[in-house]
Amino acid sequence: MRFKALASLVAGITFTLGHIYADTIPAIVFTDSFTHETTNYNPGGNPWGTLNFNSFQNWNVTRGSVDFKNVNGVFPSLWYNNPSAPFSPSFSFIDLDGTTNQSGQITSKTPFNLAPGNYKLSFDLAGNMGRGPNNSDGVTVRLDGLGISQHYELPWNQDFTTHEIDFTVTTPTTTEISFANESDDPSTLNDNLGPMLANINLQNLTGGVANVPEPGTIVIGIGLICGIYLARRFQRKHKAAITV
């Protein structure tokens, strides 16, 4: 009986320590850096991208047109060779105003079924290095099922910068994600020079895997508790002997 009691105590301590020290690791819900799109375009006429690309694996072009840019670290490309605006991404990206004079929008093909929890949507945006210094260009990000809409106005020479949207889901919700070329400066729309989008990531900040303490930490904790347990039993026996 004493052994069972001690075993139950140790198990309880281990469970408690694991929860006290647990640290939730964010879980990736979705990620897209567009690198896999290289299998879908023909680089023969334009080795660094494809104009009016509409064969994305994870996105539908739901308005206008967009251009796909497979830079892959080659710089300068013909389009971005602007000495006054250094620009050298080492990753693929999208120009949200394609080459049809119709500013574009992409929307996720598959809706996301989000459980209650805290989430973070991150993505990289850049201005269009081909336009002049007196113009800005804009991107609106929407999570329709959650009623979230965030607009970013970008200077013409802004290099890729990471932006984040933190949000909380209180009940199970289905949502799409969209990125649209919309701007406070109407003169920058529908001109085939759009803002750039790359490296999209959606994380569940509360639904990840528990990062439990190292085994050594748990062993030390168990040892301390067991020591206290045995010391108290010794004290009770000692008091009982004195009483007798």
pLDDT digits (tens, 9 = 90+) for 128-166: 876 667 778 899 999 999 999 999 999 888 888 999 999
- Identify whether the C-beta of residue 138 lies closer than 8 Å to the C-beta of residue 154: yes
DSSP code of 35?
Answer: G
Of residues 117 and 207, more confidence is placed in 117
Asked whether residue 172 carries a pLDDT value surpassing 70, the answer given is yes
Average pLDDT, the chain: 76
> pLDDT category, 220, cuts 50, 70, 90?
very low
- Identify whether the C-beta of residue 37 lies closer than 8 Å to the C-beta of residue 218: no
Buried b (16+ CB within 10 A) or exposed e, 140-169: bbbbebbeeeeebbbebbbbbeeeebebeb
Mean pLDDT of 79-94: 65
- Give this prediction's pTM: 0.72
Of residues 228 and 148, more confidence is placed in 148
Of residues 157 and 169, more confidence is placed in 169
pLDDT at 71: 61
Mean pLDDT of 34-45: 61
Asked whether residue 76 carries a pLDDT value surpassing 80, the answer given is no
